[in-house]
Amino acid sequence: MVESHPQLSKVLQTWSDASKMISALDCLAVVTFVGATDLAETEVSLKAMWDVIHPKSGSNVGTVRKPRPPVLAAALSAWTFLLTTIGSWRINTDSWKEPIAFLSTLLGAEDRAVRMAAGEALALCFELNLLDISPSEDADDDTGVPGSSKGKLFLDMQALKAKIAGLASNLSAEAGGKGADKKNLSDQRDLFQRILDFVKYGECPEESMKIAGKRDVLRVASWSELIQLNFFKRFLGRGFLKHVQ
């Protein structure tokens, strides 16, 4: 991880061709997943990925590099995959309002893969309770913003929750009429129905897959586990079962 991180981050900063960036994102996610020993190390990789997802303005005012849809979807997937590992560490909820708000805007992206990757990221944010603020905590927070308070943050997060639930509902029932893009449409409907069921009723996603024989079955029953399983299945390809066995 120590040796590869600077090289992989450099690829992401130079904005080379899409295939190289996607490979670098996947590799950075896996070496950090395996090699990071604390939150600080994981956060370095999360930041590198977030800079691809939501790049800042360049030296020229108004020039913001925008990733192509395949790169954006890959960055979202890698970022979400790593985010599954921070559940046991202390999370400062105050700092999550802006990222979650940006992720919610991606539910309206033209590219379906981007919408689905953003949906998974938001489902994980719900599972990690990143949108949960106590309304009674109305003392000034430590963000340094004048007049900023937990009470306002609570209202903002409640509004975000309602917005995300509404968008998930729409995407779970998107019509596939004449002329509509039907690629992965059923997958999108299924994913956002799962997200909606989790957000509204607390129903966790459940999946199982045979590893070897009838008794060796791998079961997942949370968004964190499902996201990790799907990422490794895609990353390892045909080698996945061998690794699990």
The two tokens of residue 164 are 């995300």
Nearest-CA neighbor of 75 among 101, 104, 92, 55?
55
pLDDT at 149: 64
**153 belongs to a structural domain:** no
Count structural domains, the chain: 2
pLDDT tens per residue, the chain (245 residues)?
999 999 999 999 888 799 999 999 999 999 999 999 888 899 999 999 999 999 984 444 455 678 999 999 999 999 999 999 987 565 666 788 899 999 999 999 999 999 999 999 999 999 998 888 766 554 444 444 444 566 788 888 889 899 999 999 999 998 775 555 677 899 999 999 999 999 999 999 999 988 887 788 899 999 999 999 999 999 999 999 988 88
Classify 80 as helix, strand or coil.
helix
**159 belongs to a structural domain:** no
Q: How far apart are CA 113 and CA 106, in angstroms?
A: 10
**13 belongs to a structural domain:** yes
pLDDT at 146: 40
Q: How far apart are CA 203 and CA 197, in angstroms?
A: 6
Cβ atoms 126, 198 nearer than 8 A:
yes
pLDDT at 90: 58
**28 belongs to a structural domain:** yes
Cβ atoms 122, 160 nearer than 8 A:
no
Q: How far apart are CA 31 and CA 36, in angstroms?
A: 8
Range of the domain at 221: 205-244
pLDDT at 33: 96
pLDDT at 62: 53
pLDDT at 183: 75
**44 belongs to a structural domain:** yes
**16 belongs to a structural domain:** yes
**186 belongs to a structural domain:** no
**74 belongs to a structural domain:** yes
pLDDT at 143: 44
The two tokens of residue 180 are 């509509």
Q: How far apart are CA 91 and CA 189, in angstroms?
A: 31
- Specify the pTM: 0.88
220 in the Ramachandran plot: left (φ > 0), alpha (ψ -120 to 50) or beta?
Answer: beta
